[in-house]
Structure 1
Amino acid sequence: MMLISKQQSLKAKNKKNSLFTPLTFKPFRIIWFADLIANLGTWAQSVASVWILTEYHASSITLAMIQVVTALPLVLLSIISGVWADNYDRRKLMLMGMFLEFTGGALITSFAFIGYLTSTKLILSILGMSIGASLAVPAWQAAINEQVSKNQVTNAVILNSVNYNFARAVGPVIGGILINTVGTAWVFLLNCLCYLGLIWAVWQWKQIYPKRILPPEHIFEGVISALKFAKYSKVMRSVMLRSFVFGLSASALWALLPVLANTKASIYGYMLGALGTGAIMGSAIVNKLCNLVDTNKMISSASILLSIVMLLIGSLNIKLLIFGALMIGGSCWITVLASYNSSVQMLVPDWVKARALALYQTTLYAGLAIGSFCWGHIAGIINVKVGLLIAGLLLLISTIALLKLKLPKLDDKYNSIMNQAQPKYKLEFSKYKESIIVSIEYCIPVNKTNEFINIIIKLRTVRLRNGAKTWSLYRNVEDKEIWQEIFLIRNWLQYLRMLSRITIADKIIIDKVNKMHIGIKPPRTYQGIQQIKPKI
């Protein structure tokens, strides 16, 4: 993990909390503006890529392959990139990913200028760029709290969304103008030059590194740890399920928009502009609402309002009203996604943050991809407006159905406790082979049995989420006041990782269990090592 300095953090607390406060942090400001220029180049290139394939009279399958090769690496490789981002230098990972993206862009530019750019070369180059993006994105997302103070993470996430939406609205216009004036090759060159600026911005960024006590996790171990964390984390279960369901329904708005525009490029462009403008306006509203409204209410309200927008668009024929509805829809869209992203940023401990963001992005994009495919087919069979009505109704019903699936309040309880005490034993065993069994003995009054069980069930979730392989609770047959909590860990190194992953919220639960113990001494802990080859 890399952090901003304490001096910067103290200064941030004295600053007025506004949407643009993160831009007062120099690293974030430089990277943000460089990213804006890079995003403009990326969206300009997307227009040029489609134009090239159109000139070659490419089939609809070939055109669709651009979307496939763009999204597939992000879905398949993000979790692996997340493991690296949680264990290694995030800045270097970002630079490696950006270099791959730049290389892919340089290949497209070279082929375009010498006249050897074909559909296959274009798609393969875009695939290389997408692989680079899948390497950089988890590190990029997780590095936000290293560029700004903790209380500015939400605003930084919103500003990055504004950045992306502004570029999506303006970039294609720039691309269209350049294609008509200087040609597609120069658009590809512009994208490469824009990326060089972003590479420079990340290169000059300096961080403060805390000392690492434990070695980095291997890929397989890291992926398993992330999946286990997601399984036993209420935050991740809620975010992943709700974002997938949201993407499944809300994707209809983006998937059916070109059909709704009646294949007129100008109208489609105006519709995209309305969504982008709404997203930018909505970012200011989100900033104000964050301090006034609970995150769950904000997400649910925005989802319900978006469902109403989709129902209105599906039933209205007046273009002006549709544009107004799209602007409101853009505001709802950014409210929901920025809230989910901020929740993961704030409620997930640093040791697994990049992987958690990767899992969130994977489920969201999976919902968007599956939804786009389904709504496109439904609109083709029935009608585009009927498709929007069905999608809006589904979003409304699913949002109401998931109202009880709430996220915790955003606070610092979910940060890992720094400098957690580590057991020190000079024993002859491998840190990577023999499994470890831990037994903790409690003495609990009989009249508090039910209360103890209710609390220790929460502790079970903590143990399993942080790395325990199995967990059990036993009661002494002769003395009913004696209880044993027993959990198994894969090896000693994993046990040390477990101890380092304890958050403030976890410590509160552990303290509650320990306070119920009535023995003269604290609960006694035993650690046992599996004897693969008994020593004689």
Structure 2
Amino acid sequence: MSNPSTSVPRSPAAAAPAATARRKVPLTRPLRHKRYRNIWLANMVSNLGTWIQTFASAWLVASMTQSASITSMVQTATYVPVFLFALLAGVVADAVHRPKFLFFCNLYLALCATAMALLVTTGLVSSNAVLAITFCLGIGTAFVWPAWQAAMSGLVDPDEVEAAATLNNLSYNLSAIIGPALGGLLFGWIGASALFLANALSFAGLLGVYWAWWQERTPQATVRESFTQRFRLGMRTAFGCARYRRILRNVCSVFFATIAFAGLLPVFVRDVLHKQSSTYGLLMGCLGGGAVIAAFFLPQVRARVDKTGVLVGALLVYGLMLVTMASTRSLALLVPLIVCGGMAWSATVSTLNAAAQLSFPAEVRARTLSIYLFVMSGGYVAGSLFWGQVADYWGVQAALGAAGACVLANALILATGNRKYPI
């Protein structure tokens, strides 16, 4: 269908019976909506560029410093802007014409990626410069995420939102397989500059889709409240819901622990495995590969198990992955291990994300999602800084083991309160 769905997700209370029924929605069903399908495909290409840049930035910094904490700051620089600007971005996203807003945000991201490529080409690159431009990219991401998630969930029917969240995760993780593997092969051949330029070019499809949507001049709801009123309403709505507060607590604690994998993997490959960029790309791709596999059986699992049960199982698998990584150097074991971790990661992210998207009606969705992103990025920022310091003092394997123990503790706490406090 060419126009966004006008269906509005129900309130948490109304959504509960539907969640209890857990009717299976086929994974590909949201793709029947033309606009969702076009954005999903263009976003997959953009995700490929993002993963190439993520790989190149992390390995470039790891090759310029021996410090685990500085290397992990690539993740910090990515998520600090989300933490700083997510709440503002949510208020803005509920008040602007979203296609126009998303067009200019993605144009800004493309220009930042181009600036990174020029910096490397001119030989002026340093770890601080990479972190600075990564921070600038993070600002753009902070403003894109609330508007994009609110727009995407409005393009499908309410009962398709969870399947759409899984599809979005599938798109992201298909790119997570190809991007790091491609980056690992090409980094030493064509250099980081070309990889950053590839990311800049990857935004072309999204810019085209958003431009076409913008030109349709679809009516926009009139915003009568002031910025302060909209902000206060979003905060009251989100924190006034006990279920949403539970989601936010889980998001903060889960992402605090799980960021250890992304933040410390370059150091693990360099210092523990004593391998090069191609191995780093391979292991990053394994996580994405597991997430892709998960996308095809998650609908069947969700038809039989409630959200809390899915999340507990996923956290148990991911925590065991981190704990096992702390005690092995065998690539033959690490590859299937991280694939299993990727399956668990897909279940974790899509479950929490769909629960957040379905919690409130469309008119406040971007604001409430921005609070979700604020809490998520806060967990990421604190975690990347903390685990980097732990790795510097006690070693990367000890940091991964401790992070795994934290994930397992989250699973235990969630399982204990499953009946009384469901997600």
TM-score (norm 1): 0.66
Structure number with higher relative contact order (C-alpha < 8 Å, ≥ 6 residues apart) = 2
Asked if the contact 2:71/2:264 (under 8 Å) is kept, the reply is no
1:142 Cα deviation (Å)?
0.8
Query: 1:219-258 residue pairs with structure 2 within 5 A?
Result: 219-258=227-266
| C-alpha spacing 1:40/1:117, structure 2 compared with 1 (3 Å) | farther
| C-alpha spacing 1:311/1:126, structure 2 compared with 1 (3 Å) | closer
**Residue of structure 1 equivalent to 2:275:** 264
Measure the CA separation in 1 of the matches of 2:61 and 2:336: 33
> What are the superposed Cα offsets for residues 404-437 of structure 1, whole Å, 9 maximum, x if unpaired?
2679989xxxxxxxxxxxxxxxxxxxxxxxxxxx
**Residue of structure 2 equivalent to 1:142:** 150
Unaligned ranges ≥5, structure 1: 7-15, 411-536
In structure 1, give the amino acid aligned to 2:288. Answer: G
**Residue of structure 1 equivalent to 2:46:** 38
Measure the CA separation in 2 of the matches of 1:249 and 1:48: 23
**Residue of structure 2 equivalent to 1:19:** 27
> What are the superposed Cα offsets for residues 110-156 of structure 1, whole Å, 9 maximum, x if unpaired?
5555x364446655444333222221111001111222222221111
1:80 Cα deviation (Å)?
0.7
In structure 1, give the amino acid aligned to 2:5. Answer: I
**Residue of structure 2 equivalent to 1:328:** 340
Measure the CA separation in 1 of the matches of 2:130 and 2:330: 40
Query: 1:122-521 residue pairs with structure 2 within 5 A?
Result: 123-205=131-213, 212=221, 215-261=223-269, 262=272, 263-265=274-276, 266-316=278-328, 318-403=330-415, 404=417
Asked if the contact 1:3/1:145 (under 8 Å) is kept, the reply is no
Measure the CA separation in 2 of the matches of 1:384 and 1:125: 26
Measure the CA separation in 1 of the matches of 2:378 and 2:367: 16
Further displaced range: 256-265 or 157-166: 256-265
What's the secondary structure of 2:304's corresponding residue?
coil
What's the secondary structure of 2:213's corresponding residue?
coil
Asked if the contact 1:88/1:216 (under 8 Å) is kept, the reply is no
Asked if the contact 2:319/2:408 (under 8 Å) is kept, the reply is yes
| C-alpha spacing 1:278/1:63, structure 2 compared with 1 (3 Å) | closer
> What are the superposed Cα offsets for residues 286-331 of structure 1, whole Å, 9 maximum, x if unpaired?
2222222111111122222323333343445654333322221111
TM-score (norm 2): 0.82
| C-alpha spacing 1:216/1:283, structure 2 compared with 1 (3 Å) | farther
In structure 2, give the amino acid aligned to 1:141. Answer: Q
1:32 Cα deviation (Å)?
1.4
Asked if the contact 1:69/1:130 (under 8 Å) is kept, the reply is yes
Measure the CA separation in 2 of the matches of 1:302 and 1:49: 29
Measure the CA separation in 2 of the matches of 1:153 and 1:298: 17
Measure the CA separation in 2 of the matches of 1:64 and 1:400: 27
1:49 Cα deviation (Å)?
4.2
| C-alpha spacing 1:268/1:125, structure 2 compared with 1 (3 Å) | closer
Asked if the contact 2:71/2:263 (under 8 Å) is kept, the reply is no
Measure the CA separation in 2 of the matches of 1:255 and 1:65: 7
Measure the CA separation in 2 of the matches of 1:31 and 1:293: 30
Unaligned ranges ≥5, structure 2: 8-23
**Corresponding pairs, count:** 397
1:274 Cα deviation (Å)?
2.0
> What are the superposed Cα offsets for residues 22-75 of structure 1, whole Å, 9 maximum, x if unpaired?
2232212221121111122222234444566678x5685875654443222111
**Residue of structure 2 equivalent to 1:436:** none
**Residue of structure 2 equivalent to 1:93:** 101
**Residue of structure 2 equivalent to 1:425:** none
Larger proportion of helix: 2
In structure 2, give the amino acid aligned to 1:39. Answer: N
Measure the CA separation in 2 of the matches of 1:54 and 1:339: 32
| C-alpha spacing 1:191/1:256, structure 2 compared with 1 (3 Å) | closer
Measure the CA separation in 2 of the matches of 1:302 and 1:244: 16
Larger proportion of strand: 1
In structure 2, give the amino acid aligned to 1:4. Answer: S
The structure with the largest alpha-carbon Rg is 1
What's the secondary structure of 1:154's corresponding residue?
helix
**Residue of structure 1 equivalent to 2:12:** none
In structure 2, give the amino acid aligned to 1:70. Answer: T
| C-alpha spacing 1:82/1:54, structure 2 compared with 1 (3 Å) | same
What's the secondary structure of 1:204's corresponding residue?
helix
Percent identity between matched residues is 27
Asked if the contact 1:138/1:354 (under 8 Å) is kept, the reply is yes
> What are the superposed Cα offsets for residues 345-400 of structure 1, whole Å, 9 maximum, x if unpaired?
11222222112222112212222332233233334433544444433333323332
What's the secondary structure of 1:19's corresponding residue?
coil
